[in-house]
Structure 1
């Protein structure tokens, strides 16, 4: 997964106006106590970050 696909999925899940703010503010245990943005900045793959977001938001399986 590329960063562009990650951000597209985030916007689909949370809305274009909220996705990036959520990614900067919401800390997830699955990412070692980091936000999605921090994890991406630290080099974690977008696929791994999306898996944590998907789990946290309890999104439908079809969005995995």
Structure 2
């Protein structure tokens, strides 16, 4: 998954503004206790991060 696809999915699910805030503030245990931003910055693939997001929020099946 490309990073642009990841952010498109985040924006479609959370909305433009909230997606950025959520990615910055929400700690996901499946990412080793990191936020989306931290995980991406540390080299975790966008696909792995998206799967972790899908584990903690009810993402529409069309976005999975």
Q: TM-score range by the shorter chain?
A: over 0.9
* TM-score computed with the length of structure 1 as normaliser: 0.93
1:14 equivalent in alignment to 2:32: no
In the TM superposition, what whole-angstrom CA distance separates every residue of 1:34-54 from its partner, at most 9, and x where no partner exists? 001100000000000000011
Retained in 1: the 8 A contact 2:2–2:46? yes
1:63 equivalent in alignment to 2:63: yes
CA distance in 2 between partners of 1:6 and 1:19 (Å): 11
Retained in 1: the 8 A contact 2:23–2:36? yes
CA distance in 2 between partners of 1:12 and 1:58 (Å): 13
* TM-score computed with the length of structure 2 as normaliser: 0.93
**Bigger RCO of structures 1 and 2 (CA < 8 A, at least 6 apart):** 2
**RMSD between aligned residues:** 0.9
- Uncovered stretches (5+) of structure 2, i.e. residues with no partner: none
Alignment of 1:1-64 (within 5 A): 1-64=1-64
